Structure 1
Amino acid sequence: MKKPQFRRWCRSPFVRVLRRECQRMISRRIYAVSCIILPLFTLFFMATIFGNGQMEELPVGVVDDDFTPASRGLVRQVEAVPTLRVTSHYANEAEARADVRRKRIYGYLCIPSGFEAKVNDGKPVSLTFYYHYALLSVGSEIRAAFQSLLKQASAFPLAEQAQALGIPSADVQTFLLPVRDQVHPLVNPDMDYSVYLTPPFFYVLLQVLLLLVTTYALGSERKFHTASAWLAAANGRIGVAVVAKLLPYTVIFLIVSVLANWVYFAGLHIPCQANGWMLLGLTCLFLLATQAFAVTLYALFPVLGLVISVVSMMGSLGATLCGVTFPVNHMYAPVYHASFLFPVRHFVVALQQMLYAGEGGWGSFGWSEFLTTGTWKSVVWLLGFLLLPCVCLPRMKQLIRRGQYESWE
């Protein structure tokens, strides 16, 4: 580029607005906190929150009404399960149930009186366990651990009797368990919570920050009566003013997102079937769609205090409706259709397809999978969000030229 052309480009409205916004970002600490510190904190917080990715040593209790060697042996088997940790022994079920409600323990096993005698006599006996199922993930882990343990314990007395009669242990196992199951968890063989929670939750939190930063950057211009200077720097072209103003935030959040993808997929080895360029493209499209969504919300609610409250609410709703913890398809029909109004919902759907839909490891999710899995639909929705500001920018320009800042209090 020749020097006259370069100088002319440097004096263009786009560069003037861009330079002006960079100066504003440097002069105020709130931008460093919201654009760098908080996103990085979110990145490393989500990378470490799940520990080794599995629940271990969940506190449980035991109600032993038998007090025999057989019941104590069963308690020792419970203590040997890595998922469980026996923290309390109770005299009755009422005390154990009270501690479950207080969440001091998450479940308890009840061994009835006469347990050993009935086992030795070959009579049926019931072992009962209770668990806190208001906490779904914890309750599911405890239920699975107790069921696996008691399944083995129920066959132990008969196995001892058969071996005492001289029957080989292999034949005993075949007789007791003629049908054996083979469990092969796909994509997440280690049953690691971070595999399916860490990447989506990070971007859910990141979209809340991006919504807040975008609306604050726009709303502060009118709040502090600098909107006219902002529009004048763009020669009255509201499209140039908005794009140049938001570009630094797009670049910063994109860098943080690239770093997050590297930490999660290369550092933590979370499975990802898409290649890096496809993942980068989806991430960039998501950031732009989120900013476009924020611009639209600001045009509809052009008061800084009000729009901050609105985007906070929308960000929280988006976290609920993105389908990370509960399938959106099974939500109440109006809620399901409302979820299409949030960019994060479409991004999470596309991201999960890219993470899990391939079968050959990194880079196996190609264009054929992009079409057959329906990922293209989510991308089209994200592209549609980019068109929303085109409808709202004329209203924003009118508000700036009016020069009056309304208070909603």
Structure 2
Amino acid sequence: MRAFFAVFRTELLRILSVKPALAALVIGPLIYALYYPQPYRNEALRDVPIALVDLDGTDSSRQFARRLDASSDVAIAALLPDEKSAEREVYARSLYGILVIPQHFERDLLHGRQSPVAFYGDASYFLIYQRISGAVTAVARAFGAEVETARLIGIRVDPVIAAAASDPMPLTAVALFNPQGGYATYILPAALALILQQTLLMGVGLLGTIGGQPVAPGRTSGSAGPLSTVIGKMLAYLVVEAAVLPFYLIVLPYLYGIPRLGSLWTVMVFSIPFVLSVSALGLVIARLFRDPVVVQLVGGALGLPFIFLAGFTWPIEAVPDPLRTIALLLPSSTAITGIVEVSQLGASLPDVRQAFLGLWALAGVYALIAVVLEKARQHHAALSGSETRA
């Protein structure tokens, strides 16, 4: 037991003394927290500028344009005479769409005929295109229903029946857990969990490959067995992450207005096996590569594959089955789903039991591999010491 606590204390001292590891475990997450969420502060697009080409010039066409401009998503920034001039503005990226109201728009509506409007949107930026097209569709549907209701009332149909006939199935859409429909609410919780994994992996890998271990006064960590060494180091990393995790999973979501329905206790308990599994994986990586430069290169190279395998930037259903199996071996792939559910959706631990147990299983498997590798290292060091004395 004394050897176990010696390893624990020694590893905490090393985290503070080994500057590259301190940068990865403490300073790095703080820097990420300062600048990474900044682009997502205005998470919902508002007043995207588009051009209007009104070929009808009637009261109905102007009324339709005013309604669209009054929506929160779209702003009619230019009224242009033809499509060619509007195209030039879109190609210059000063505008992101063109709405064309055809000639005889009002006449066709009054005669009960279809009068389609045309929208050309810049789909190279999907979020912008989605906002504009959604706003145009909603306004066109509402405007068309009102015109049809007025026409039916004009031929002496009861107003209630006319309203039901023009819009027989009204839809009320409620955005659960993301009331603004913003990108930050969707992407940040998953990205923050992935950042925690990458920085912890890098820090543990550097600690395992950089020499110069300080020894606690009056203690020795050299006599610790493989199991005590691995568990002592993992608990040291857990203590450090106990200060980083609340900042990432509680404070940052609060600062950026991300919905938080889960309790702090549930979030922190669920994060324990996540930290332990990542720490154990870091110990395995350190023993396999044995060079701090290689650890940094491997950690940097694996960042982008980890993002895609996590299943939030690319649909997990679209990932080939072999890669989905590999994703199950990464703590982040399981942790992201569970953390989002317990923190944003208000799930309890029994609700995320499968993910919770899966993380404990990963922690156990990687810890066992780390113990085996540590035993081999200690055996090799003992043999080298015997040959030196001989």
Conserved? CA contact 1:107–1:131, under 8 Å: yes
Conserved? CA contact 1:66–1:116, under 8 Å: yes
Q: Is 1:389 aligned with 2:370? A: yes
How many residue pairs match? The answer is: 380
**Aligned equivalents of 1:111, 1:338: Cα separation in 2:** 52
Alpha-carbon displacement from aligned partner over 1:204-228 (angstroms, at most 9, x marks no partner):
112111111111222222xxxx379
Conserved? CA contact 1:200–1:324, under 8 Å: yes
Q: Is 1:212 aligned with 2:202? A: yes
TM-score (normalised: structure 2)? 0.81
Conserved? CA contact 1:258–1:280, under 8 Å: yes
2:261 paired residue among 250, 268, 272: 272
Q: Give percent identity, aligned residues only.
A: 19
Pairs within 5 Å for 1:332-347: 332-347=320-335
Per the TM alignment, residue 72 of structure 1 is displaced from its structure 2 partner at its CA by 2.8
Conserved? CA contact 2:194–2:332, under 8 Å: yes
**Aligned equivalents of 2:134, 2:379: Cα separation in 1:** 61
Aligned to 1:321: 309
**Aligned equivalents of 1:140, 1:238: Cα separation in 2:** 55
Alpha-carbon displacement from aligned partner over 1:295-319 (angstroms, at most 9, x marks no partner):
2222222222222111222233222
Residues 106 and 290 of structure 1, relative CA distance in 2, 3 Å threshold = farther
**Aligned equivalents of 1:60, 1:399: Cα separation in 2:** 69
**Aligned equivalents of 1:139, 1:147: Cα separation in 2:** 12
Aligned to 2:108: 118
Conserved? CA contact 2:10–2:215, under 8 Å: no
Aligned to 1:365: 348
Conserved? CA contact 1:343–1:385, under 8 Å: no
What are structure 2's unaligned runs of at least 5 residues?
Answer: 385-390
Alpha-carbon displacement from aligned partner over 1:320-370 (angstroms, at most 9, x marks no partner):
21112333133222222221231100111322443567xxxx5x6253x34
Residues 384 and 15 of structure 1, relative CA distance in 2, 3 Å threshold = closer
**Aligned equivalents of 1:99, 1:299: Cα separation in 2:** 57
What are structure 1's unaligned runs of at least 5 residues?
Answer: 1-8, 404-409
Alpha-carbon displacement from aligned partner over 1:109-130 (angstroms, at most 9, x marks no partner):
2222333343344443221113
Q: Is 1:143 aligned with 2:143? A: no
**Aligned equivalents of 1:281, 1:382: Cα separation in 2:** 14
**Aligned equivalents of 1:165, 1:338: Cα separation in 2:** 66
**Aligned equivalents of 2:232, 2:361: Cα separation in 1:** 24
The higher-RCO structure (CA 8 Å, 6+ apart) is 2
Conserved? CA contact 1:349–1:378, under 8 Å: no
Residues 24 and 353 of structure 1, relative CA distance in 2, 3 Å threshold = closer
Pairs within 5 Å for 1:25-104: 25-27=15-17, 30-43=20-33, 45=35, 49-51=39-41, 53-94=43-84, 96-97=86-87, 100=90, 103-104=93-94
**Aligned equivalents of 1:400, 1:270: Cα separation in 2:** 52
**Aligned equivalents of 1:228, 1:263: Cα separation in 2:** 33
**Aligned equivalents of 1:149, 1:121: Cα separation in 2:** 20
Conserved? CA contact 1:234–1:240, under 8 Å: no
Question: Secondary structure at 1:183's aligned position in 2?
Answer: coil
Alpha-carbon displacement from aligned partner over 1:268-297 (angstroms, at most 9, x marks no partner):
462434x44332122121111112112222
Give the aligned residue type for 1:292: A
Give the aligned residue type for 2:320: Y
Aligned to 1:407: none
Alpha-carbon displacement from aligned partner over 1:69-111 (angstroms, at most 9, x marks no partner):
4333322222111011223444544554565566543333222
Instruction: Choose 297-306 or 377-386, whichever is displaced more.
Output: 377-386
Question: Secondary structure at 1:341's aligned position in 2?
Answer: coil
TM-score (normalised: structure 1)? 0.77
**Aligned equivalents of 1:260, 1:219: Cα separation in 2:** 27
Aligned to 1:308: 296
Conserved? CA contact 1:297–1:311, under 8 Å: no
Aligned to 1:177: 167
Per the TM alignment, residue 151 of structure 1 is displaced from its structure 2 partner at its CA by 0.8
Conserved? CA contact 1:55–1:83, under 8 Å: yes
Pairs within 5 Å for 1:234-249: 234-235=222-223, 237-241=225-229, 243-245=231-233, 247-249=235-237
**Aligned equivalents of 2:300, 2:50: Cα separation in 1:** 38
Aligned to 2:271: 283
Conserved? CA contact 2:205–2:283, under 8 Å: yes
Question: Secondary structure at 1:386's aligned position in 2?
Answer: helix
Per the TM alignment, residue 50 of structure 1 is displaced from its structure 2 partner at its CA by 3.2
**Aligned equivalents of 2:331, 2:163: Cα separation in 1:** 54
